Structure 1
Amino acid sequence: MSEGVLLVGASGLAREVIAAGMAGVTGILDDDADRQGAEIAGVPVVGRVEDALAREEQLLVCIGPSATRRQVVQRLLDAGVSPDRFAIFAARSARIGASSDIGAGSILLDGAVITADARIGSHVVIMPNCTITHDDVVDDFATLAAGVALGGSVRIGTGAYVGMNASVRQGLAVGEDSTVGMGAVVLADVPERQTWAGVPAQQLGEHE
């Protein structure tokens, strides 16, 4: 594998990763025909997603919505991309405890704090100034928006989205593919594929 990283998705998240100082970015892959040959934050769009197969750099999927990020990662895997090719990015100002683990493809932006014995899955996006405390588990493809705070021993399920400045009390779970709204205060377990919001958070609806 050659040195360097290709960002997948000419998105706002890609610009945030670049701005946060990711080293060795050689280009961006995006399926939008109008973006081919353009520059995003000074980095050229050098092809479409499937062009990853003809290159050797590591890959970082910079797509915000959890479901779309999962689909693109699966496309790449189905096309023959090795799971070992996915990079990890942690901004210089992110603080990660020595006993915590970060999975392949995950992104931690500025000011994120991960304390002791936490586990971050693969292709997780953690936006600026999130706090993830002891024994938390954030499963694959989850997204924590800016300012999220998790108490100890919280579990965030696969593909779940926790909105900006929301907080989750210790020992609780947010189920797979669920959504927690901005500023919500979660004081009870959130079941799978539901949307909760408010203070305290309550169910608003269910996902298809």
Structure 2
Amino acid sequence: MNSSVKIALIGSGALALELLEMFGRERFVAAYCDPQFVAAARIDLPLHTSLSALAQVATHYVLALADAADRTRLEQALQSAGMQPAPALILPSAVLSPSATIGAGSVIGHGVQIGSRCRVGQHNFVMHHTVMGHDSCTGDHVVLCPGVFVSGYVTLENAVTVQANAALAKGITIGEAALIAQGASCFRSVPAGMQAIGNPARIIPPASQAPIWEIS
């Protein structure tokens, strides 16, 4: 990677630790943590609680946070501090079509397969052994957990989360901020903000969740 690209991990929990294992400590120069979580942080990187201080040592960032609302808010604050999304981090075991495109700040894990003409947005997590069929696309801040199967011509809008081993049928659309539960089989489109659970999946209202990160 270009030596002028100095990447900070945004987060200090399980997802950040997994990225350290996947890509190696030497890929990152520092981490950012909300002050209220510093005591519990276990990450082996210089830890900052101020974005302005972080911007003195890092030029780019990767969002190692699972919550889409936190990711979106922090993205805006990081760019205001002068940092940019890191080039996509892709493990060598992933198989990507030459016609697929991967957005900045995204992470592609072990054994992922991404088909022809797929478009992966910015700040996505496409985790281990997930498959994306041809002509599918994701918005920004999408999380595909391990073992997800996405058929062809599927659209996932911004801030969608698909939990482990779920399957999405051909041609459907998953609306913004929707959640597909673990092991669900989705055969129809899911409206924005809703949840899909079960096999075949049924659509239910979302559980409310207040943001837990404060930006300093």
Does the TM-score normalized on the shorter chain lie above 0.5? yes
**Which residue does the alignment assign to 2:142?**
142
Deviations 1:63-92 (A, max 9, x none): 111221111112212x24254x43321122
Residue 195 (1) aligns with residue 198 (2): no
Structure 2 Cα separation of the partners of residues 177 and 56 of structure 1: 29
**Which residue does the alignment assign to 1:173?**
173
- The TM-score with structure 2 as length reference comes to 0.86
2:82 maps to a residue whose letter is V
Residue 104 (1) aligns with residue 107 (2): no
Which secondary structure does the structure 2 equivalent of 1:60 belong to? strand
Structure 2 Cα separation of the partners of residues 166 and 11 of structure 1: 24
| Matching residue within 17, 35, 38 for 1:35 | 38
Structure 2 Cα separation of the partners of residues 91 and 80 of structure 1: 29
**Counterparts in 2 of 1:87 and 1:8: CA distance versus 1, 3 Å:** farther
Q: State whether residues 55 and 83 of structure 2, in contact with CA within 8 Å, keep that contact through their aligned partners in structure 1.
A: no
Please, which runs of 5 or more residues in structure 2 have no aligned partner?
A: 209-216
Q: State whether residues 195 and 205 of structure 1, in contact with CA within 8 Å, keep that contact through their aligned partners in structure 2.
A: yes
**Which residue does the alignment assign to 1:73?**
75
Which secondary structure does the structure 1 equivalent of 2:205 belong to? strand
Structure 2 Cα separation of the partners of residues 172 and 46 of structure 1: 41
Shift in Å, 1:123: 0.8
Structure 2 Cα separation of the partners of residues 158 and 74 of structure 1: 15
Shift in Å, 1:150: 0.2
Structure 2 Cα separation of the partners of residues 34 and 143 of structure 1: 23
Q: State whether residues 52 and 81 of structure 2, in contact with CA within 8 Å, keep that contact through their aligned partners in structure 1.
A: no
Shift in Å, 1:13: 1.3
User: What do you get for the CA RMSD once the two structures are aligned?
Assistant: 2.1
Structure 2 Cα separation of the partners of residues 21 and 160 of structure 1: 24
Please, which runs of 5 or more residues in structure 1 have no aligned partner?
A: none
Structure 1 Cα separation of the partners of residues 57 and 123 of structure 2: 20
Shift in Å, 1:207: 6.2
Q: State whether residues 29 and 57 of structure 2, in contact with CA within 8 Å, keep that contact through their aligned partners in structure 1.
A: no
Shift in Å, 1:39: 5.4
Shift in Å, 1:24: 2.3
Shift in Å, 1:34: 5.8
| Matching residue within 24, 28, 32 for 1:25 | 28
Which secondary structure does the structure 1 equivalent of 2:123 belong to? coil
**Counterparts in 2 of 1:68 and 1:53: CA distance versus 1, 3 Å:** same
Over the matched positions of the two proteins, sequence identity in percent amounts to: 24
Structure 2 Cα separation of the partners of residues 103 and 35 of structure 1: 30
